[in-house]
A and B are shown apart, each in its own frame.
Chain A
């Protein structure tokens, strides 16, 4: 079956550092990818998305990189802040009319 997974379950960084969270996906037919942030007691919050016809997309302090050759997705957070502490999930869409498939998540801890 298809799966979307993350390389590391936890990541600890200092405030001001750049963070990189990685994700590997297995379905080569997936053409849409999203990063979500989930804080304790809340639902996942949309951060940024990217379509398979792109390899990079930038938002405010965040960048998503997509490498279709190795089926790898990453989220870069610049100047990480304590408020960025949360669990980060990548998700992919296997095809039209399907639902997002989520990986297990990476817990980002930011210390001051």
Chain B
């Protein structure tokens, strides 16, 4: 049973380009979460999605960042016009979403903006 799959593992973008990060949840999971982690720091919540719906985007910057989780296919975190401060590890997690169930994380995408 495959876990949460994220790709690419590493992504290098120049300032001003777009970054697209993909996440396929665990089989049977319909809830997806995106977190961001800076070096030596904890994970900061960005956005929580259920199939085709954004449940909570309170941690995601209003500009340049967007997320989707379509009916078919992976969840996408999109960062437009990247800046150096966007360099970080971005982790996706999924859960069953029923009651208190743990989040299962992928191994992240490390974004470097040059």
Q: Which residue numbers of A lie inside 8 Å of B, CB to CB?
A: 31-32, 34, 36, 41-46, 49, 51, 89, 93, 97-105
Contact = CB atoms under 8 A, between A and B. Distances in A.
* Secondary structure class of chain B's binding surface, majority of residues: strand
Contacts of B48: 98-99
A99 B45 contact: yes
B102 A34 contact: yes
Nearest to B48: A99
Q: How large is the interface on B (under 10, 10 to 19, 20 to 34, 35 or more residues)?
A: 20 to 34
Contacts of A51: 100
B102 to A, nearest CB: 5
Interface in B41-78: 41-45, 48, 55-56, 59
Contacts of A46: 102-104
A7 B48 CA distance: 28
B108 A43 contact: yes
Contacts of A42: 107-108
Contacts of B104: 46
B44 to A, nearest CB: 8
Contacts of B59: 99
B42 A89 contact: yes
